[in-house]
Amino acid sequence: MPLGGNCCETLVEVVAKVLCIGVLVAQQVLLDTFFFNLDAKGTISPVIWVLLDMFVTLWWICSLAMPMCLKTCLRKLPRKLLVALSEVRFAYLSWVLYAALLCLKINHMFFFFAEDLPMRPQLFSSTGLKLTLSMAGVVFLLLAYCHHKELKGVYYKLTMEKVAFSACLDVLDALMLLDFLFIRASGVLITPKLDRIVRAFSCICIILPTFPLLVLRCIQTPTPKHKLYRIMLIIQSLLYLLLVNFPLFSIRLHFWFTHNRDISTFFTKNVIMLFKGVLEIIKESMKLYKQQSSTSYMSDDPDVATRLKQMPTKDLGKEDV
């Protein structure tokens, strides 16, 4: 690639990382403002949340900046060490820390003060809190885009884009589900059991994008295991089917019929993603079966195996999607 192209890619990557950290810090500041102003009955001091936010932010800055700086300064590092410094290896840990802290904040807020927030055009309202929490989807999208350059091969880059967009929608879907818990704004009381169910599945949806990032980490090896990659894609589709779209579809259906609550357009998204998840599982299972069949045939016929080894290998990065 020409020098100008590399400089342009590096500039875009740096801008994406700065935006990612900027949105992360902005969300943390806004949420901490809620704690300082509304958390009068809470058992945790707002200062503790600030300290935890500082730790998460410091980890994100280090995980995004250090590998890039080290690889830029030490260009002649061995390939294995370059792979070890790959930013994709730190991405899933970054999201785990962020998602775990965000889930703690959500549960604390809805236990002590969020349910009583009114619906009004101000920061300290149900609308203000929902908009602040929805920034999590933007954070994940930027985090995924920051690692776009790290992935080798067109197929993996397209997979990263698809996973990032899909996971971003699922995070927003989970946060929209919390709309049912704003009792003062909606005027509808729900049982404590249903309240816990909504919060539990919302938190699962926020933590679950860790798995797609873990899948992309597994393929960033000197010799990617494509069979394992297929299996993990099937597991990923199955997890999102059973832990995101089906439960959220069922919860919305329950609120519609038993509480006469209006449901968002994400209900249609759940239906679409249910069908999409089933089709993806079937598609990847068929590809895995064909791959195993060809491997079995090659091992049974030594002559075929010898000829195939002499042929140039096909890069999965050039596979049609």
Complete DSSP assignment for 249-272: HHHHHHHHHHS-----THHHHHHH
In Å, the largest CA–CA distance within the chain is 76
Give the pLDDT confidence score for residue 301 in this predicted structure. Answer: 54
pLDDT of residue 315: 47
| Total number of residues shown for the chain | 321
pLDDT of residue 117: 85
Q: How far is residue 316's CA from residue 214's CA, in Å, rounded to a whole number?
A: 19
Structure tokens at 54: 């500082």
Q: Give the residue ranges of the chain where pLDDT is below 70.
A: 1-6, 9, 67-89, 147-160, 216-226, 295-321
pLDDT of residue 171: 85
Q: Are 240 and 277 in contact (CB under 8 A)?
A: yes
Q: Cβ distance 92 to 213 under 8 Å? A: yes
> Number of H helices and number of E strands within the chain?
13, 0
Residue type at position 302: P
Is the CB of residue 218 less than 8 Å from the CB of residue 232?
yes
206 burial (CB, 10 Å; 0-12 / 13-18 / 19+) is buried
Task: Give the pLDDT score at 314.
Answer: 47
Residue 5's pLDDT is 55
C-alpha span between 26 and 301 (Å, rounded): 61
Token pair in block for residue 278? 């089933």
**Residues ≥6 apart with Cβ < 8 Å to 165:** 141
